[in-house]
Structure 1
Amino acid sequence: MSEREEQVRVNQSLAWVGTATALMGVGDVATKAVLLAIWITPEEYGVATLALAAIPILDLATELGLPGALVQQGDHTPARLSTVFWLNLLLSLTIVAAIFFVVAPLLASHYQAPIVGWMLQAHCVKLLLQNLYMVPGALMIRELRFREFSLIRFLASVAENVALLVAAPLVGIWCFIAGAIGRTLVTTAGVQYFQPWLPRLLFDWAATREAVLFGLKTSFSRILFFVYTGLDFYIVGHFFGRTALGLYKAAADLALDPARIISTVVVSVAFPAFSRARGRPAVLAEQFLKLSRLSFIVVAGFLVIVVPAAPDLLLLLDAQWVGAAVAVRVLAIAALLRALSAVVPPLLDGVGRPSLTLTYMAVAAVTMPLWFAIAAVLLGDRLGYASVAWAWVIGYPIAFWVLLRFALRHLEIGAGRYAAAMLRLALWTGLAIAAGTVARALVAGVELPVVRALAAAGAAMATFVALLVVAEGITPRSLSAALKPPPRDAEPAIE
């Protein structure tokens, strides 16, 4: 496969994953809006957050990064694949035991909410089921089969949202458990349909040892990521209570979830792309800059709508959620940096340097929780739970710079070149948000919040798109050209 063909494969993968993710995002936002507007109060949402904020960490702990090792490395034997499955299953059983007898009782006791422990224990069903799709799913990703994988993810998202809406009026916040299990069942069925695979009674430690060592480094890095991006919820709950936590979580859903979703897209496509190009520095550098810009543009495109319209969007749910608007606007700053930082770990992992990612994650996992706690103690009396949001703005740029330095040093890209590629996008984002804010001010006298929200969002998005077209040359034609395969060489004439 030529470099041009490989780049087209990456672009097409991004298109499929991005389209599926956008559709999923719309469905997820609509579903969550219905839940919060009708059935879930801020206090109940806070309780659910205490139970579920640790779930990403537990999910990663059950796989130990082994599926990622299958993506990074090729030449897989049936013995190696089966060994990965049995190791994952053993880890899952160990984590389930820890949840039942240690984690769930401790959280329930600390926050004086038994339901927190019960929900964690119920989530163990999902932890066990996901073993059935991890290995075949990794094989699909390795081959960049994102068309099928995106369809699976979309159908799984639909199943989750249907389960949430059906279960919410019946069992309240237990609907989140029903949704997670519904998503896992559909994912398992879809992956097994497109990539049928079942483990054999084989165990080859010698052939799998290298993958385990690689997986340990990458999984610890991702676990540490979810530690420092999830502890803010527990700190808000500890210092400010469940209702404040529900409002903070709603703000994070609006401001930080786009960055989280984009990071999923980027990691899915970037990791195999970087792994394939690991021996070609120029290609790596070009892919890194393109994916960084793409991550920023997509997240910024969502935030230019959310930031100026935040109070009205929350008011459409219910007046009890409007207080989260301040935190939304503060967290949006961190969201842009998190969109950029999402590109670096798959780069370092893909080129065989997961130890650098682990170093960064370890530093961030120590420093960011300290920032959260210090901000809550020093600023909590004046800013309330928004003080923790400000900790993101103060502390995360430092952590991001450490991570970025690792990437630039490996790629031999100057900081000036990187800054030039990103600062223009930041300027267009700021101008678009300003346009949305002005538009909202012009219709401030209108009583209907939906009108104010549409005015702010429409002006901001129109400005953002216009600036991308005029200043960056990003048009439908340019996007279409990036997805077209190169022309085949003409067949030699037969004389």
Structure 2
Amino acid sequence: MTNSNQLKSQVLHSLKWVALGKVLTQIIRWAMTFWVIRLLLPEDYGVVAMADMFAGFLALFIGGLFAPAIIQTKELSQTMLKQMFGLIIVVYSTMFLVQYNLASVVGNFYQSEHVTSILKVTACLFIVKAIAIIPTSLLARNMAFKHVSIISSVANITAAVTTLVLAYLQFGFWAIIIGEIIAVTLRAVLTLAVQPITFLPEFKFTQVKPHLKFGGLIMLHSIVFYVFLHMDVAIAGRLMSVTEIGVFAIALQFALMPQKKILPLLKEVAFPAFSKIQDQPQRINAYILKAQKMSILLTIPIFWGLASVIDQIIPIILGDKWLEAIYPTMIILFVMPLRFSEELFNPALKSQRKVKHMLHNVSIMSVVMLISIVLAAPYGAVGLAAAWACGFPIAYGVVACRNANLLNIKYRNIAKLFLAPVAAGIIMLIVVFTLKQYTGEIAVLNLLIQIAAGGVAFISALYLFDKKLIVELISIFKRSPKRHD
């Protein structure tokens, strides 16, 4: 088998296992998450969202510092791993102390004692994560995604069940926090069982420093990207009530659910795969265009389809107390295919160490979105959602053009990928919204009818505009790569 075919087979096999784990897990998690949302209040999600702002920001300081260096380094010695382990312990212990000691300051900023309590409790997760970084990175480096998927499924399902039980027992926002602690801890324990650490840490960092420059740039990019993604809640936290923030947080959570489950699947496999061919830019460019084509083909019917029936889904699944989240969710869903497409460039850019380029990209997007969010924040959750709908397409256009120039891909070739799926998506929306005039009552049967009609409309229109896309998509799913466990 040639190296090209072997890599393709390995990638498809990895995607199969990651997809299998994600799909089975998320069917269960989504059902339980919706049930939890019905049990909890907007205020609960508002408090958690504000606490996550600071905890997530701290995590980004170190989240991309070590793993990318381990995965991307061609020659990985035992001494380097020992020194990496020692540095991980030092850095993560420092972050634990920072979060614990600044918890009161953050709580005072948001005028919430609950935020302080959450941050002090979740600070311990830094210690748990530190132990699992090297084993997790080695599994990814070796593309052992069968083990990764099984571990993730067990941890996530256990955490979801725990969260549901605690929410039913009226633990409020603590149900979410305890569930997250269980997920992180169980994932670390199972990862160590599969890929144990058989060496002690060294606290000399001579061999680690050259590799951390790359990780440091990834870390800086992650920090700016986090600010970009969460500046809406950060700004709104001072201008809106906790209830309004909770409504927007649920709108985001609902809209981001497909992306959070599908995109990590692709990026988890894509970065190690691109790293293996990092010195073959032509092959990378071909894979980029293919990945973008498939992502646009899938994300437009998924996200736009959800947007078209979200007025049915939220009352049925979440209940009437979340009706205010309908329009923010609908607005955000329409822009999600662009967000998906933008992030899908990053594994290839990262594999070629183009992190400074990525940093410039996210800085441009942050400036555009900051202006849009500041103007829209006074108008509540709908205003914040509209900020994304207005600002992000502009930011995407600039960044996609920059990426195309860097990768020697014609920008019009990227733009062409949108034509048939967007046209089919518009027809799908017209069919669904027309059907609503005759099946406007909120009911499960009407929801199913609208989903079926939208799906048929999209596939029929896509076949009319570009039937080769459907044939290509079917051929990908028909492939059965050989095992490479």
TM over 0.5: yes
How far off its partner does 1:475 sit?
A: 7.0
Please, which runs of 5 or more residues in structure 2 have no aligned partner? none
Q: Which amino acid aligns with 1:355?
A: K
Alignment of 1:358-397 (within 5 A): 358-377=359-378, 380=379, 384-397=380-393
Higher mean displacement: 415-424 or 368-377: 368-377
Q: Distance in 1 between matches of 2:143 and 2:235?
A: 39
Given candidates 402, 417, 422, the residue that maps to 1:421 is: 417
Question: Does the CA-based 8 Å contact 2:304-2:333 persist in structure 1?
Answer: no
Aligned to 2:331: 330
How far off its partner does 1:114 sit?
A: 0.6
The verdict on how the C-alpha distance between 1:42 and 1:63 changes in structure 2, with shifts beyond 3 A counting, is closer
How far off its partner does 1:195 sit?
A: 1.7
Q: Which amino acid aligns with 2:329?
A: V
Aligned to 2:242: 242
Q: Is 1:478–2:479 an aligned residue pair?
A: no
Please, which runs of 5 or more residues in structure 1 have no aligned partner? 487-495
Alignment of 1:126-205 (within 5 A): 126-170=125-169, 171-205=171-205
Alignment of 1:430-449 (within 5 A): 430-444=426-440, 446=441, 448-449=442-443
Question: Does the CA-based 8 Å contact 2:369-2:392 persist in structure 1?
Answer: yes
Q: Distance in 2 between matches of 1:87 and 1:35?
A: 39
Alignment of 1:264-279 (within 5 A): 264-279=264-279
Question: Does the CA-based 8 Å contact 1:152-1:191 persist in structure 2?
Answer: yes
How far off its partner does 1:283 sit?
A: 1.0
Aligned to 2:358: 357
Higher mean displacement: 386-395 or 199-208: 199-208
Aligned to 2:10: 9
Q: Distance in 2 between matches of 1:476 and 1:191?
A: 34
Q: Is 1:455–2:435 an aligned residue pair?
A: no
Question: Does the CA-based 8 Å contact 2:224-2:363 persist in structure 1?
Answer: yes
Aligned to 2:27: 26
Higher mean displacement: 425-434 or 473-482: 473-482
Aligned to 1:491: none
The verdict on how the C-alpha distance between 1:348 and 1:435 changes in structure 2, with shifts beyond 3 A counting, is same
The verdict on how the C-alpha distance between 1:219 and 1:295 changes in structure 2, with shifts beyond 3 A counting, is farther
How far off its partner does 1:85 sit?
A: 2.0
Q: Which amino acid aligns with 1:405?
A: C
Q: Distance in 2 between matches of 1:31 and 1:54?
A: 26
The verdict on how the C-alpha distance between 1:294 and 1:441 changes in structure 2, with shifts beyond 3 A counting, is same
Aligned to 2:212: 212
How far off its partner does 1:269 sit?
A: 1.3
Helix, strand or coil: the match of 1:172? coil
Alignment RMSD, CA only? 2.2
Q: Distance in 2 between matches of 1:122 and 1:295?
A: 38
Q: Distance in 1 between matches of 2:6 and 2:461?
A: 30
Question: Does the CA-based 8 Å contact 2:60-2:226 persist in structure 1?
Answer: no
Per-residue displacement from partner, 1:178-220 (whole Å, max 9, x unpaired)?
1111111221122223222244232442221122110010111
TM-score by length of 2: 0.92
Q: Distance in 1 between matches of 2:461 and 2:335?
A: 22
Q: Which amino acid aligns with 1:327?
A: P
The verdict on how the C-alpha distance between 1:197 and 1:403 changes in structure 2, with shifts beyond 3 A counting, is farther
Q: Distance in 1 between matches of 2:190 and 2:298?
A: 27
Q: Distance in 1 between matches of 2:366 and 2:105?
A: 21
How far off its partner does 1:238 sit?
A: 2.4
The verdict on how the C-alpha distance between 1:311 and 1:57 changes in structure 2, with shifts beyond 3 A counting, is same
Q: Which amino acid aligns with 2:448?
A: L
Q: Which amino acid aligns with 1:390?
A: A
Higher mean displacement: 433-442 or 86-95: 433-442
Question: Does the CA-based 8 Å contact 1:468-1:474 persist in structure 2?
Answer: no
Higher mean displacement: 475-484 or 431-440: 475-484
Alignment of 1:340-355 (within 5 A): 340-355=341-356
Q: Which amino acid aligns with 2:24?
A: L
Q: Distance in 2 between matches of 1:267 and 1:56?
A: 20
Q: Distance in 1 between matches of 2:85 and 2:471?
A: 43
Q: Distance in 2 between matches of 1:83 and 1:426?
A: 50
Question: Does the CA-based 8 Å contact 2:106-2:116 persist in structure 1?
Answer: yes
Question: Does the CA-based 8 Å contact 2:405-2:411 persist in structure 1?
Answer: no
Q: Which amino acid aligns with 1:131?
A: A
Aligned to 1:492: none
Q: Which amino acid aligns with 1:194?
A: V
The verdict on how the C-alpha distance between 1:295 and 1:476 changes in structure 2, with shifts beyond 3 A counting, is closer
The verdict on how the C-alpha distance between 1:173 and 1:95 changes in structure 2, with shifts beyond 3 A counting, is same
How far off its partner does 1:53 sit?
A: 3.6
The verdict on how the C-alpha distance between 1:301 and 1:133 changes in structure 2, with shifts beyond 3 A counting, is farther
Q: Distance in 2 between matches of 1:427 and 1:250?
A: 29
Q: Distance in 1 between matches of 2:458 and 2:54?
A: 36
Aligned to 1:109: 108
Q: Distance in 2 between matches of 1:21 and 1:298?
A: 16
Q: Distance in 2 between matches of 1:65 and 1:466?
A: 46
Q: Distance in 1 between matches of 2:473 and 2:398?
A: 36
Q: Distance in 2 between matches of 1:47 and 1:426?
A: 37
Q: Distance in 1 between matches of 2:74 and 2:204?
A: 16
How far off its partner does 1:28 sit?
A: 2.7
Q: Distance in 1 between matches of 2:80 and 2:430?
A: 55
Question: Does the CA-based 8 Å contact 2:159-2:179 persist in structure 1?
Answer: yes
Q: Distance in 2 between matches of 1:423 and 1:340?
A: 14
Question: Does the CA-based 8 Å contact 2:129-2:188 persist in structure 1?
Answer: yes
How far off its partner does 1:87 sit?
A: 1.8
Given candidates 454, 458, 464, the residue that maps to 2:458 is: 464
Q: Distance in 1 between matches of 2:324 and 2:292?
A: 32
Question: Does the CA-based 8 Å contact 2:62-2:219 persist in structure 1?
Answer: no
Helix, strand or coil: the match of 1:279? coil
Question: Does the CA-based 8 Å contact 1:80-1:204 persist in structure 2?
Answer: no
Per-residue displacement from partner, 1:231-257 (whole Å, max 9, x unpaired)?
212323322211111111111122123
How far off its partner does 1:340 sit?
A: 0.2
Per-residue displacement from partner, 1:253-312 (whole Å, max 9, x unpaired)?
221232233332222111111111111122101111122233334433432442111112
Question: Does the CA-based 8 Å contact 1:301-1:464 persist in structure 2?
Answer: yes
Q: Distance in 2 between matches of 1:340 and 1:410?
A: 16
Aligned length: 477
The verdict on how the C-alpha distance between 1:481 and 1:455 changes in structure 2, with shifts beyond 3 A counting, is closer
Q: Which amino acid aligns with 2:307?
A: V
Q: Which amino acid aligns with 2:158?
A: A
Aligned to 1:493: none
